[in-house]
């Protein structure tokens, strides 16, 4: 068959997926390693589960709106069982907690990091495969477990390079939300299905408070709202009196200026106001008491409102959570693609979900946890110039004489044994310029050169590639005046000289 008739596959990434190269993988690993150190310090154990689960174990997965029931990548095996790639790290945890319940300690504290897959319509910044980083406590009904997750999340953010003042962990309670809706007349404790549609609209509207403000949320609570594109969103149809109840709830946090002025007593003040708003609702009062306990535990541990705040605007999903909910928001501003300033937003979220393990065991098993958006947190660190990984390339030992490969390999071995990342150029050594181009592509900081003359003298030449690039860019830079871009040193001083150049 002629070469022209051979059907060759397209060299392209499947739609909704992407490839990650050296620096990106290095940065992600370094960040996850730092987070793992925090989780380990808190007494959590690592867990790795299979990327594949039975569809039955995954339960109600996450369909996207345009393609109902197509939320996972699933297939039928030879035994006619339906299997699927995991869509998050929580469903596998529920299966593990049930399967090994007689072997695992209770409570069981674990963290997990890895890729998940969702068969959803891809879009800008929305991929079908992405990384998650979770930590959960299964088997404890105590709100101390929720408070601990929030404290651990705060420590993790600071450890990877988000300083205090650039983030806030917001905490709310779904029971408080239910209590407020009971007061507003859109939740009947005796009939949970009544007003279900209205409650869904209310929760989605509250979740948009940061973006739409009180006016936009009020429109969604009543007849509806037309956005800038002209699309109309149906409202909940609440009365003015009902809207007033919801608005009073949202205003419990107060203005941003008031938050700053009274930050030391902010959580106490918000809890007091929420207690007034839930009135005699049993569920609402229970939720307020839990928030008060969480704030007290965190305050005793040094996690005050400068790091963790009670915020009525946090919703976190519609039917998944059963109690405290929380999310981490980055408060600094970045420029969007149009050059406009905007807050970075949320990078982590979680809460209490007491019904997930029950699917397997039929028994109530309380659980709480958090998931960090790995790609978003990495993007935030890059935006602030706080990359967590060493993305420099290796020192490259060039090859001037292919018959002396053993000598070059000896040099690279000395560097590696000293803990310096290094490699010998293994391409065609005929064109020396191509070797330096290769080193540039590898982002190598130093090139080691030894030709016949240097070998006879027992020396090597070290070329500072970073300095060389700076000089080539602007030869008048004063700070580079006294530093030669190339030095010759004895072969025995190779390691010490490379270390000195790397330090500079």
- Dump pLDDT digits (tens) for 23-69: 889 899 999 999 999 999 999 999 999 999 998 888 755 444 444 45
How does strand 74-76 pair with strand 395-397? unpaired
Asked if residue 441 and residue 414 are part of one domain, the reply reads yes
Helix axes 22-41, 143-160, angle to 10 degrees: 140
Q: Is the pLDDT of residue 110 over 90?
A: yes
Q: How much is the pLDDT for 480?
A: 43
Overall domain count for the chain: 3
Which residues constitute the domain of residue 466? Answer: 395-503
Q: How much is the pLDDT for 81?
A: 85
Over its C-alpha atoms, the chain yields an Rg (Å, rounded) of 29
The phi and psi torsions of 246 (rounded to 5 degrees) equal -65, -40
Helix axes 143-160, 282-300, angle to 10 degrees: 50
pLDDT tens digits along 394-414: 999 999 998 999 999 999 999
Q: Are 154 and 307 in contact (CB under 8 A)?
A: yes
Which one is predicted more confidently, 113 or 250? Answer: 113
Mean of pLDDT values over 169-175? 95
- Provide the CA 438 distance to its chain's centre, in angstroms: 33
Say if residue 28 is preceded by a cis peptide, omega within 30 of 0.
Answer: no
Classify 213 as helix, strand or coil: helix
Q: How much is the pLDDT for 488?
A: 94
Q: Residue 470: which pLDDT band, with cuts at 50, 70 and 90? A: low
Q: Give percent of the chain above pLDDT 90.
A: 52
Looking at the domain assignment, is residue 42 inside a domain? Answer: yes
Q: How much is the pLDDT for 182?
A: 92
Looking at the domain assignment, is residue 412 inside a domain? Answer: yes
Asked if residue 77 and residue 212 are part of one domain, the reply reads no
pLDDT tens digits along 264-285: 578 888 999 999 999 999 999 9
Asked if residue 203 and residue 101 are part of one domain, the reply reads no
Q: Are 76 and 55 in contact (CB under 8 A)?
A: no
Say if residue 107 is preceded by a cis peptide, omega within 30 of 0.
Answer: yes
Q: Closest Cα partner for 59 from 78, 80, 87, 79?
A: 87
Asked if residue 311 and residue 400 are part of one domain, the reply reads no
Torsion angle in degrees (nearest 10) through CA of 496, 497, 498, 502? 100
Q: How much is the pLDDT for 473?
A: 55
Which CATH number goes with the domain that contains 264?
A: 3.30.930.10
Asked if residue 321 and residue 188 are part of one domain, the reply reads yes
Q: How much is the pLDDT for 261?
A: 46
Q: What is the mean pLDDT of the chain?
A: 87
Q: Closest Cα partner for 130 from 374, 317, 350?
A: 374
pLDDT tens digits along 179-203: 998 999 988 888 888 888 888 888 8
Q: How much is the pLDDT for 205?
A: 87
Rounded Cα distance between 275 and 56, Å, is 41
Q: How much is the pLDDT for 356?
A: 83
Asked if residue 289 and residue 419 are part of one domain, the reply reads no
Rounded Cα distance between 208 and 204, Å, is 7
pLDDT tens digits along 370-379: 999 998 899 8
Looking at the domain assignment, is residue 3 inside a domain? Answer: no
Q: Any idea what DSSP says for residue 210? A: H
Q: How much is the pLDDT for 468?
A: 61
Q: Is the pLDDT of residue 213 over 70?
A: yes
Q: How much is the pLDDT for 133?
A: 95
Looking at the domain assignment, is residue 116 inside a domain? Answer: yes
Q: Closest Cα partner for 175 from 197, 216, 146?
A: 146
Looking at the domain assignment, is residue 416 inside a domain? Answer: yes
Those residues whose C-beta lies under 8 Å from the C-beta of residue 236, and which sit 6 or more positions away, are 186, 198, 201, 202, 205, 220, 221, 222
Q: Is 93 exposed, middle or buried (0-12, 13-18, 19+ CB in 10 A)?
A: buried
Q: How much is the pLDDT for 418?
A: 95
Q: How much is the pLDDT for 336?
A: 63
In terms of average pLDDT, the best of 111-115, 190-194, 245-249 is: 111-115
Asked if residue 314 and residue 171 are part of one domain, the reply reads yes
Looking at the domain assignment, is residue 247 inside a domain? Answer: yes
Asked if residue 159 and residue 100 are part of one domain, the reply reads no
Rounded Cα distance between 433 and 2, Å, is 37
Asked if residue 322 and residue 202 are part of one domain, the reply reads yes
pLDDT tens digits along 287-303: 999 999 999 999 999 99
Q: Are 348 and 371 in contact (CB under 8 A)?
A: yes
Rounded Cα distance between 398 and 119, Å, is 47
Rounded Cα distance between 464 and 501, Å, is 7
Looking at the domain assignment, is residue 46 inside a domain? Answer: yes
- Provide the CA 131 distance to its chain's centre, in angstroms: 8
Asked if residue 269 and residue 133 are part of one domain, the reply reads no
Asked if residue 305 and residue 452 are part of one domain, the reply reads no
Q: Find tokens 């937003």 and name the residue.
A: 345
Looking at the domain assignment, is residue 269 inside a domain? Answer: yes
Q: Find tokens 């009939």 and name the residue.
A: 191
Which CATH number goes with the domain that contains 473?
A: 3.40.50.800
Asked if residue 76 and residue 96 are part of one domain, the reply reads yes
Least trusted range by pLDDT, from 286-295, 337-346, 420-429: 337-346
């Amino acid at each position: 068959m002629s070469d022209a008739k051979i059907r060759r596959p397209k060299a392209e990434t499947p739609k909704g997926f992407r490839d990650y190269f050296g620096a990106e993988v290095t940065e992600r690993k370094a960040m996850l390693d730092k987070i793992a150190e925090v989780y380990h310090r808190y007494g959590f154990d690592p867990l790795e589960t299979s990327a594949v689960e039975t569809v039955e174990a995954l339960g109600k997965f996450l369909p996207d709106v345009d393609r109902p029931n197509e939320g996972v990548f699933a297939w039928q095996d030879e035994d006619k069982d339906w299997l699927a790639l995991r869509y998050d790290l929580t469903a596998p945890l529920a299966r593990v907690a049930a399967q090994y319940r007689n072997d695992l300690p209770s409570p069981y504290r674990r963290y997990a990091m890895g890729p998940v897959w969702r068969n959803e319509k891809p879009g800008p910044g929305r991929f079908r495969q992405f990384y998650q980083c979770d930590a959960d406590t299964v088997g404890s009904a105590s709100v101390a477990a929720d408070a601990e997750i929030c404290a651990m999340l705060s420590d993790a953010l600071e450890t990877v390079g988000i300083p205090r003042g650039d983030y806030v962990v917001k905490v709310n309670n779904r029971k408080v939300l239910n209590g407020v809706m009971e007061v507003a007349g859109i939740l009947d404790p005796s009939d949970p299905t009544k007003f279900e549609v209205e409650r869904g609209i209310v929760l989605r509207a509250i979740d948009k408070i940061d973006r739409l403000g009180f006016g936009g949320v009020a429109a969604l609570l009543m007849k509806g709202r037309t956005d800038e594109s002209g699309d109309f969103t149906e409202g909940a149809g609440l009365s003015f009196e009902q809207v007033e109840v919801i608005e009073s709830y949202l205003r419990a946090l107060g203005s941003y200026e008031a938050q700053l002025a009274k930050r030391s007593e902010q959580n106490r003040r918000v809890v007091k106001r929420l207690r007034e708003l839930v009135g005699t609702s049993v569920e609402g009062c229970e939720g307020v008491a839990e928030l008060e306990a969480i704030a007290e535990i965190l305050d005793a541990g040094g996690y005050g409102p400068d790091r963790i705040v009670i915020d009525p605007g946090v919703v976190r999903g519609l039917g998944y959570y059963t109690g405290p909910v929380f999310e981490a928001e980055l408060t600094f501003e970045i420029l969007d693609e149009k050059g406009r300033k905007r807050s970075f937003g949320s990078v982590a979220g979680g809460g209490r979900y007491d019904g997930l393990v029950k699917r397997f065991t039929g028994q109530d098993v309380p659980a709480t946890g958090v998931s960090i958006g790995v790609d978003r947190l990495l993007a935030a660190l890059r935006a602030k110039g706080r990359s967590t990984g060493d993305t420099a390339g290796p020192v490259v030992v060039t090859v001037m004489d292919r018959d002396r490969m053993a000598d070059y390999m000896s040099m690279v071995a000395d560097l590696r044994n000293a803990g310096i990342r290094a490699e010998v150029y293994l391409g065609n050594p005929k064109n020396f310029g191509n070797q330096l181009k290769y080193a540039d592509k590898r982002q190598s900081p130093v090139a080691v050169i030894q030709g016949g003359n240097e070998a006879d003298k027992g020396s090597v030449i070290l070329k500072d590639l970073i300095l060389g690039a700076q000089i080539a860019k602007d030869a008048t830079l004063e700070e580079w005046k006294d530093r030669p871009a190339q030095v010759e040193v004895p072969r025995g001083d190779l390691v010490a000289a490379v270390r000195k150049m790397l330090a500079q």
